[in-house]
Amino acid sequence: MILPIVMAGGTGSRLWPMSRELYPKQFLRLYGENSMLQETIHRLEGLNVHEPLVICNEQHRFIVAEQLLQINQLSQNIILEPVGRNTAPAIALAALKAILTGEDPLLLILAADHVIGDKNAFHAAVENAIPFADDGKLVTFGIVATSPETGYGYIQRGEKIYQEEFSAFKVQRFVEKPNYITAEKYLESNEYYWNSGMFLFRAKRFLEELSKFRPDILTACQQAMAHLRSDLTQDFVRVDKDAFLACPDESIDYAVMEKTEDAVVVPLSAGWNDVGSWSALWEVNRKDNNGNVINGDVFVDNAENCYINTDEKLIAAIGIKNLVIVNTKDAVLVIEKSQVQDVKKIVEHLKNSQRREYRYHQESYSPWGRNDKVVRAPRYHINHITVKPGGKFSLQMHHHRAEHWVVLSGTAQVTLNDKTYLLTENQSTFIPIGSVHMLENPGKIPLELLEIQAGSYLGEDDIIRFKDHYSIN
């Protein structure tokens, strides 16, 4: 049986303003009915697979947990990276976790932010790769090139090999992103595939090759896995931070695949796209009769070949061509479709200017639920808070702000100093400065409330926690 390993790290800055450092593209609904992470997992339906193991950054843990819970795939299957160390260490952690029970499963390595239009073709390629992985090969999936792309690495195929009725190719070499003329030659030769970053191999076989070529990475990952921890909710697997910090930063291509003699490539033609820009997203989505991709409340007239996406506000677009227009709650992007690679310049500017828009969305996730920051004024903030059943804030106090809570739906259990009481719809309570307080949802449905914060200082660091219900063991 196959164990899917879903790589859900990365920041996806090229899809700003929808993708932010703390809410990157793999968690957004950009193609299909679900987030890209959820679509990646749904795509496995029909294959003989275990529940997936997801690897993500520490700062994204609650988003991942919530999205896995939504599709009934959450069961202590999230490995947290304290810091990003590229794909080789991440896969090493997954492989070491996979063999803890004494098994040696096939690992199907997938990115959480890719689009694959033809699920059946994807399944066929995986089935084709299994006999080679069972024979000790390290299989990579090469995307059948359809254009001379300069933004992808390439894989040159070598000798054709067979396993029963299945066929693949030995990997001749991996090559870096080429210039346009070289990419044209690759396309004409029919010997080169785009490097998808997807793999299939036995866990122990990968670790054998990693120990041969990069024993430093393997040792660091083994040390990081030697002292696993979990939080009280048991949703996350935490590795030793200090040990992992010492791990070199390296991709699986450089660490293993370019060095091993057992690399094989299975061709994949399944409408693959890594959705690395707004123009790529325009390409893969359904278009109207004028070539426009429209999401949200949008009116267009005499518009052609545009991508327009809005969260809330109406966008009216008249007489435009080849534009990308993206509206979020706190930012608007308007850019020529041919210039979308320059979005990174915006992100760099925001980061250098220390503006929150490069890093944060107005909506954030916590173990208890989510917080939508509705209003941000100098002396007051208004938040729309959703607390899931059983969720609770930490027992806390503030030195500079008072709070007013108004219940919109559900039931709230409020602790205020030495009192505990319930609030229901249209009821409210006041939390004075310096009061010890806590909020909990004791009911069976989500608790919705407005939180009005007021005071001379409203920074998130104005908080003293006396008890945190989601601390680490």
Domain ranges across the chain: 2-273, 278-351, 363-467
- Alpha helix (H) ranges present in 11-77? 36-42, 61-70
pLDDT tens-digit profile of 12-49?
Answer: 789 999 999 888 999 998 887 899 999 999 999 999 99
The stretch 241-250 carries a mean pLDDT of 93
What is the number of alpha carbons within 13 Å of residue 101 lying toward its C-beta?
5
Select 2-273's CATH number: 3.90.550.10, 3.30.70.260, 3.20.20.60, 3.40.50.300.
3.90.550.10
- pTM, two decimal places: 0.86
The stretch 166-193 carries a mean pLDDT of 93
pLDDT tens-digit profile of 8-18?
Answer: 987 778 999 99
* Cβ-based neighbours of 282, under 8 Å, separated by 6 or more: 293, 305, 306, 307, 324, 337
Q: Nearest to residue 80, comparing CAs of 3, 4, 2, 9? A: 9
pLDDT tens-digit profile of 349-367?
Answer: 999 999 989 888 888 888 8
Q: Is the pLDDT of residue 471 over 80?
A: no
Q: Of the given ranges (8-17, 303-312, 347-356, 463-472), which has the lowest mean pLDDT?
A: 463-472
- 413 in Cβ contact with 373 (< 8 Å): no
Three-state DSSP at 59 gives helix
CATH of the domain spanning 363-467: 2.60.120.10
| Whole-number pLDDT of residue 473 | 45
